[in-house]
Structure 1
Amino acid sequence: MAQPDLSQHEKDEALLQRFGYRQELQRTLGFLSNFAVAFSYISVSTGTFSLFYLGLAAGGPAFFWTWPIVAGGQFLVALNFAELASHFPIAGSIYQWSKRLSGFTLGWFTGWTYFFAGVLTVTAVAFTVPIPLLAIFPNIPATILGLNNAVFIAL
Structure 2
Amino acid sequence: MTTKGNLVVEDSDVRLLREMGYMQELYRGFSPFMSFAFCFTTVNVFISITIGFTYSLNTGGSGVTIWSWIIGAVFTILVGLSLAEICSVYPSAGSVYHWAGQLVSTKYAPLASFTCGWVNFLGNVADAAFSSGFATIINAAIILQGNDSLSIGAQVGIGIGITFVWAALNALRVDQQGWLNNLAAVLQIGSTISIVIVLLVMAPTRATAHQVFTSTYNSTGFPFAYVCLIGILSTLFSFSGYEAGAHLSEETTRAGRAGK
1:99 and 1:107 in contact (8 A); partners too: yes
RMSD (CA atoms): 2.1
- What TM-score comes out, normalization by structure 2 length? 0.45
Counterparts of 2:142 and 2:74, CA distance in 1 = 35
1:134 and 1:150 in contact (8 A); partners too: no
Residue in 2 aligned with 1:32? 33
Q: Give CA-to-partner distance per residue, 1:67-123, whole Å, 9 cap, x none.
A: 1111111111111110111222222101110111221121112111111111111x2
Corresponding residue to 1:87 among 78, 89, 99? 89
Q: Secondary structure at the match of 1:141?
A: coil
Larger relative contact order (C-alpha < 8 A, sep ≥ 6)? 2
Q: Secondary structure at the match of 1:137?
A: helix
CA gap of 1:113–1:119, structure 2 versus 1, over 3 A, is same
Structure 1 stretches of 4+ with a deviation exceeding 6 A read none
Q: Structure 2: which 5+ residue stretches go unaligned?
A: 1-26, 164-260
CA gap of 1:153–1:106, structure 2 versus 1, over 3 A, is closer
After TM superposition, give the deviation of residue 152 of structure 1 in Å. 4.9
Counterparts of 2:58 and 2:162, CA distance in 1 = 24
After TM superposition, give the deviation of residue 40 of structure 1 in Å. 1.8
Q: Which has the higher helix share?
A: 1
Q: Structure 1: which 5+ residue stretches go unaligned?
A: 1-25
- What TM-score comes out, normalization by structure 1 length? 0.72
Q: Secondary structure at the match of 1:136?
A: helix
- Matching of residues 100-139 of structure 1 within 5 Å: 100-102=102-104, 103-121=109-127, 123-138=128-143, 139=147
After TM superposition, give the deviation of residue 132 of structure 1 in Å. 2.0
Corresponding residue to 1:144 among 145, 149, 152? 152
